[in-house]
Structure 1
């Protein structure tokens, strides 16, 4: 029996590929990490286990420091393992169709993994990489056994086919998600730029029918039609554009980025007689693009200032709770309604609450912040604070 049917004959000095930043960006755009179990992926692992006659099978995603299981068909009661301990980390750097270890105990370096060296640990492993349309390896479909064994060419082809099915599914999900967001943006855009001017047009035409001085009224109506045409043309152009955010991540404390944002916006808050409080309970460093995160936090703080009355307080707070790193931007007296909170992340959303200092609000700041946070594998939402008219924006990153 061969010790390994792969290009790698031992554990390499590093399991991090040179293009790992770009690879992680490709992984994050699918928004799959830390999502609940789903029937499709569980069917894939059941099929892999049955067809290759292996007791355990996984759909794995290789994150920055961990390998997370979208589907776990095994007795292993964990959702992820350290990246350095996972054989899937070798699969994504191997450069072959299927990585196979017929007996892990015969491969130099693999016994350093506790999942290999433990009694009843991994003796046999076979994994096919999940290769995206732009040629990044983001994870695997793999099977394992506690006994060494060989693998047939037909079984390798099965793993490759299952991996291709997984990639096709997540690509379709990504397209569907983009289409849904485009629909939501189009709906709010139509309401903002077409429906409202149409109402004004109806009023003007009604006045024209009653007024003896119809010429001026008709001239106004004609101007409104021109505005409608311009708005519609702009919307059509925007619908054909798909902005691609590009990350340049590094290890950095978000608290320091937030501190600079608080200092920047303190004069603006003071001008509205608002108090801007900044508190830090965690200085953990995260792998993020500092410029994009700064932009997202600026948009959240700026929006809070705009929709908070004079004499009120705004908080920018950073802390950790139950393995979640959170950034909260809160207002003790926001004019945003509960209905507003449901749509503030849609482009051009028409909000019930109005800015409290006649500031301009384009409707683009919060959708942009949402895109940035989700690109970083984070979550963002708006909710009441539980104190009278208080509202807050919450950004959350999993850190465990």
Structure 2
């Protein structure tokens, strides 16, 4: 029997790699000779670097960068296939890096992301995969642009301040001094939200509150972001204001489009293409996927459905495991998932489920495989 293991992470509980290993242990308790292909997955958010580095036998690179509050910190990005860098926005400017009492999108900067890119350029990298999501910033990516050599200046010709406060100061943007190597690069941006840059559904109004912005600050940020969009259109001849996804990660989506000609794509589509998982799924007998919570939003670009849609093309059954099954709509089953199982085996607290998630996953998968063999007559070869 050939089984594909392709879960996402179980947030704050199991990484995608840990979940993959637990699933494999459960299978091998019943089918020690099964052919197993392991693909720790991600959809562009937290865990993307680890998933791709593990799936593609890549390497992790540690580099000192400017953190979201302007402090020096060490962070990691990945290199795969010797020529592709994988960068998680959350690793450089993630909300988890800023203590709750210090969260303020007027001050948090994306400068460190640009430093990551420069470091990768120095290693000869010319293809980038960027996982948007989980940022503490709302600076429209101007910090990143400045780190890459762009001049983002105020009325006196001075560089604007770090953070969202700099957006209101912008009077001119020039890319004449942008690192010339960037012209040779391609940027695939994993973006699974469609928020525009400004307005009620834009970066400030939708994501500002979780980053520490109050109502007055949100209104000012949105107005400042409009100023930024106007100057990008005037000086760079790029209109990003209403592009779907431009508001992702506090406007970083807009910056990747305007400064780096990045292409916004579905995160799971990028990951499945890079890993080549489809060529393995089409000859498989079973696929096991999963993530921490599966609900009616999972249908919109999340890992389990992305994997299931591939398997559905080849008639390969897909089973999903999860910490919390909150499905109320049949849409997820129509997308190719045959059944969803929760790893909990008795009444327990969330903390208990998280603490014992790997053991619970192993036990669940063992029972699933035993049931399949007993009821479908599958060979244990």
Shorter-chain TM range is: under 0.3
Structure with higher RCO (Cα < 8 A, 6+ apart): 2
TM-score computed with the length of structure 1 as normaliser: 0.21
TM-score computed with the length of structure 2 as normaliser: 0.21
